[in-house]
């Protein structure tokens, strides 16, 4: 049987417990999960792409091995459908939170399907404990010295504190 490869693309600025939950669920659906960290200079990320890759690598450590689906973390900076083809993947994995995500995700999935009909987009829902978490609000809270340890790992929380600490 051919290996089912899924690409989970995102900015991961920073990676949250919501993202990690989706990654663990994706492992139930595909044989290999490729976490595609977008360069996304247009979004002016707080962390560099290297920092974001390192954060993801660190936070998924516990999801490797034990016969679980393989995980690979890679940077991508091209049209998603081309990247998915390069990776010989056939599935795009996206997380769906509330209604607010729907419009954007719906348009993206539909346009990707028109460009590359062989690629299927699969939407996964995070556990209700994590569904409301967004990287944007995590950054806002951390910027104002709030505690984000309910939303990200302590490793990411420490990096946020460091990033926003004033001399
Ligand atoms: P992007 O810039 O592509 O939206 P993000 O890192 O913000 O990148 O999100 C990547 C994917 O993860 C998106 O599909 C987003 O909807 C999903 N996602 C983010 N946070 C959560 C969460 N708390 N629960 C479920 N899905 C999430």
Nearest residue by C-alpha to atom 15 in ligand 1 = 95
Answer whether residue 135 is part of any domain: no
**In this structure, what is the dihedral angle of CA atoms 8, 13, 16, 19, given to the nearest 10 degrees?**
-10
**What is the span of the domain harbouring residue 81?**
5-129
Pocket of ligand 1 (CB under 6 A): 9-12, 16, 18-19, 22, 94-95, 97, 101, 126, 130-131, 133-135
CA distances from 94 to 18, 51, 83, 161 (A): 12, 22, 15, 28
Answer whether residue 23 is part of any domain: yes
Question: What does the mean pLDDT of the chain come to?
Answer: 94
Answer whether residue 146 is part of any domain: no
Give how many domains the chain has, as a whole number: 1
E-strand ranges in 39-151 read: 70-76, 91-96, 120-125
At 37-84, the pLDDT tens digits run 999 777 899 999 999 999 999 999 999 988 899 999 999 999 999 999
Answer whether residue 36 is part of any domain: yes
109: number of CA atoms within 13 Å, CB side?
17
Identify whether 150 is a catalytic site residue. no
Answer whether residue 122 is part of any domain: yes
- Rounded mean pLDDT, 147-165: 97
At 138-150, the pLDDT tens digits run 999 999 999 999 9
166 has pLDDT over 80 = no
Answer whether residue 85 is part of any domain: yes
Q: How far is the CA of 24 from the centre of ligand 1 (A)?
A: 14
Identify whether 19 is a catalytic site residue. yes
Q: What is the pLDDT of residue 133?
A: 95
Confidence of residue 99 (pLDDT cuts 50, 70, 90): confident
Confidence of residue 167 (pLDDT cuts 50, 70, 90): low
CATH number of the domain that residue 90 is part of: 3.40.50.620
Token duo for residue 90:
């056939």
Identify whether 135 is a catalytic site residue. yes
Identify whether 139 is a catalytic site residue. no
Answer whether residue 166 is part of any domain: no
Q: What is the pLDDT of residue 1?
A: 67
- Choosing from 18, 20, 24, 38 the residue with most ligand 1 atoms within 8 A of its CB, the one to mutate for a pocket test is 18
Answer whether residue 158 is part of any domain: no
E-strand ranges in the chain read: 5-10, 32-38, 70-76, 91-96, 120-125
Q: What is the pTM of this model?
A: 0.95
Which one is catalytic: 52, 90, 135, 139? 135
């Amino acid at each position: 049987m051919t290996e089912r490869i899924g690409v989970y693309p995102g900015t991961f600025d920073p990676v949250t417990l919501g993202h990690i939950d989706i990654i663990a669920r994706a492992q139930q659906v595909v044989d290999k999960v490729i976490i595609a960290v977008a360069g996304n200079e247009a979004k002016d990320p707080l962390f560099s792409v290297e920092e974001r890759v390192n954060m993801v690598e660190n936070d998924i450590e516990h999801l490797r091995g034990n016969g679980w689906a393989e995980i690979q973390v890679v940077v991508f900076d091209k049209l998603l459908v081309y990247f998915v083809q390069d990776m010989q993947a056939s599935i795009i994995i996206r997380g769906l939170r509330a209604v607010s995500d729907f419009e954007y995700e719906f348009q993206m999935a539909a346009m990707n399907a028109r460009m590359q009909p062989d690629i299927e987009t699969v939407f996964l829902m995070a556990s209700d404990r994590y569904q409301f978490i967004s990287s944007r609000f995590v950054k806002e809270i951390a910027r104002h010295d709030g505690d984000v340890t309910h939303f990200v790992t302590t490793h990411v929380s420490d990096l946020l504190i460091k990033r926003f600490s004033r001399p």
